[in-house]
Amino acid sequence: MVKQLRKMAEEFEKFFGSHAEEYRKSKSHREGPDLSVLLEKIDPMKNERCLDLATGTGFTAVSFAKRCADVVAYDGTQAMLDQAKIVAKEEGVSNVKFVKGNVEKLPFENESFNIVVTRRAAHHFGHKDLFLQEAFRVCTNGGKLGIADFADPENDDSDYFNDLERLRDNSHVKAEKISVWKSLVEKAGFVNVSVTEMRDTSPYSKWLSPVSEDSDAGRMCRKFIESHSREELLKMDFDLNTMELTKHRFVLTATKPKS
């Protein structure tokens, strides 16, 4: 497993290191509706500590820092953390600490945080069960978990969506179905699981971003689309007529039992 985690970390560094600045400039990542829903459902308090896992360019961490006592922005790619520091400075936020590391082995003590969140990142986690075990461990009794990400459509029985995502981004591991996420979260010990679903339809070129259409990854994605039937593509909510892909986004919240 150590070798596998090391290889995945190298893929993350390669992809996100080369696209970090583009992610910092992404309006969708900065103010997407999933962030608003996550904040509303978690409802952070001024006396609470928050851990933002796979923080990326820090938009989620900074948003929570404006309402929490302090936030740890945790990510596996230094280039993304460097961009997150820029975002925090731009927003005038000083109560964020930036830490580099793997989400499946957290360097924090038990029950260190009232809130543990991750946004638009869990599809990169190779061992989601380990991530949830660690999230449960560092969360205080009665604390809150929040996961915002996109999901594999429930009727995508051939995993077409994940196949295409892996071609676009080779650090992508797997977007789980929402039903699978509910099961994993409950198995980890969390209770009061609640899910808000939303749809995000984008033109093909926008979905592909920050990858360009004339890149190797862009050409492989186009080849994938051309090699599948209209019916197969519809299973992953790709409309060949309009060349639009609909992402199934969700915000899942849960709590750690008080005792």
CA distance 58 to 220: 30
What is the band of 21 on the pLDDT scale with cuts at 50, 70, 90? low
CA distance 116 to 145: 5
What is the band of 7 on the pLDDT scale with cuts at 50, 70, 90? low
CB atoms within 10 A of CB 21: 15
Stretch 73-85: mean pLDDT: 93
**Residue 230, domain member (yes or no):** no
Number of domains in the chain: 1
> Using an 8 Å Cβ cutoff, are 145 and 253 in contact?
yes
CA distance 49 to 111: 10
Closest CA to 119 of 66, 42, 47, 46: 42
Is the pLDDT confidence value at 84 over 60? yes
**Residue 228, domain member (yes or no):** no
Report the chain's mean pLDDT, rounded to a whole number. Answer: 90
What is the band of 14 on the pLDDT scale with cuts at 50, 70, 90? low
Is the pLDDT confidence value at 34 over 50? yes
**Residue 165, domain member (yes or no):** no
Give, in order, the Cα–Cα distances in Å from 225 to each of 156, 201, 252.
Answer: 15, 17, 30
Query: Could you tell me how far CA 113 lies from the centroid of its own chain?
Result: 19
pLDDT of amino acid 171: 87
What is the band of 6 on the pLDDT scale with cuts at 50, 70, 90? low
- Residue 132: which CATH number? 3.40.50.150
**Residue 219, domain member (yes or no):** no
**Residue 227, domain member (yes or no):** no
**Residue 212, domain member (yes or no):** no
Q: Which segments within the chain are labelled E, that is strand?
A: 49-53, 70-75, 96-100, 113-119, 139-151, 191-203, 238-239, 244-255
**Residue 183, domain member (yes or no):** yes
Q: Whole-model pTM? A: 0.88
pLDDT of amino acid 241: 95
Stretch 160-168: mean pLDDT: 96
Instruction: Give residue 132's identity as a one-letter amino acid code.
Output: L
Stretch 32-37: mean pLDDT: 93
What is the band of 4 on the pLDDT scale with cuts at 50, 70, 90? low
Range of the domain at 100: 2-154+170-201+247-255
